[in-house]
A and B are shown apart, each in its own frame.
Chain A
Amino acid sequence: GIQVEQSPPDLILQEGANSTLRCNFSDSVNNLQWFHQNPWGQLINLFYIPSGTKQNGRLSATTVATERYSLLYISSSQTTDSGVYFCAVGERGFRQTGANNLFFGTGTRLTVIP
């Protein structure tokens, strides 16, 4: 399967600071998603972004598929942003037959302190 590396593994921020999380992957992908896992274990889908740039409030993401990386930007961080951020990639979109797995990185653990 595709190898996914996330950096940094841990990040501690003061409330209000900005941060950039990185996801590198080893092969061409047509499916890339960012998730946030809160301290209670719930995973929330942040972005579906196999290429290009998207923004949702204080969060934005950019994927450069030709260079095999994606970045998640968090601006004006809040304590509720704490948790683990996962990048997950797939070789093909789910809608293609047989392409039903996403390969997850080990995550970036973010702690935002007041």
Chain B
Amino acid sequence: DGGITQSPKYLFRKEGQNVTLSCEQNLNHDAMYWYRQDPGQGLRLIYYSQIVNDFQKGDIAEGYSVSREKKESFPLTVTSAQKNPTAFYLCASRTTGGEKLFFGSGTQLSVL
């Protein structure tokens, strides 16, 4: 089945630790996105990538980093500089040449 796979579903971070959230898609989509969702809020854009080896900051990029070495993969690292990392993180991709966004099932990150 084609889709967007995020792992792990739940992740816990200790103080001062970097953690990496995985996002893989087999839809052959060029563009990929990372969003953050806080309770009772809408989604906010962290980073996006339109093609391999290129990515751009979104509205809330501070404390996060990404890479795009393969078309299928767009991992997000939450660094120790992100002081309030507890949130639900959603990865999305966009149909090539299209407008609709499709989402993975999300990763809930919590701080120990």
Residue numbers of A with Cβ under 8 A of B are: 1, 4, 31, 33, 35, 40-45, 48, 86, 88, 93-95, 100-107
Known: A41-B88, A100-B48, A106-B42. A33 touches B103 (CB 8 A): no
Residues of B within 8 A of A35 (CB): 103
Chain B interface bracket (under 10, 10 to 19, 20 to 34, 35 or more): 20 to 34
Residues of A within 8 A of B56 (CB): 100
Chain A proximity of B47: nearest CB distance (Å): 10
Given pairs A33-B100, A94-B31, 10 additional interface contacts (CB within 8 A): A4-B42, A33-B99, A33-B101, A48-B99, A101-B45, A101-B58, A102-B43, A104-B43, A106-B42, A107-B42
Cα–Cα distance between A95 and B97 once the two chains are bound (Å): 6
Annotate B26-40 by CB proximity to A: 1 below 8 A, 0 otherwise: 000001010000001
Q: Provide 7 A-B residue pairs closer than 8 Å at the C-beta atoms, listed in order of the A residue.
A: A41-B88, A42-B103, A45-B102, A88-B43, A100-B31, A100-B45, A101-B58
Cα–Cα distance between A103 and B41 once the two chains are bound (Å): 12
Cα–Cα distance between A105 and B41 once the two chains are bound (Å): 8
Known: A41-B105, A43-B90, A100-B50. A31 touches B99 (CB 8 A): yes
Of A33, A44, A94, most buried by chain B (CB within 10 Å of CB) is A94
- Contact between A45 and B105 (Cβ–Cβ < 8 Å)? no
Interface residues of B in 77-103 (CB under 8 A from A): 88, 90, 92, 94, 97-103
- Contact between A106 and B101 (Cβ–Cβ < 8 Å)? no
- Contact between B105 and A1 (Cβ–Cβ < 8 Å)? no
Indicate which residue in B44, B48, B58 contacts A104 across the interface (CB closer than 8 Å).
Answer: B44
Known: A100-B31, A100-B48. A45 touches B42 (CB 8 A): no
Residues of B within 8 A of A93 (CB): 99
Question: Within 8 Å of chain A (Cβ to Cβ): is B59?
Answer: yes
Known: A41-B105, A42-B103. A86 touches B58 (CB 8 A): no
Task: Specify the chain A residue showing the minimal Cβ separation from B95.
Answer: A94
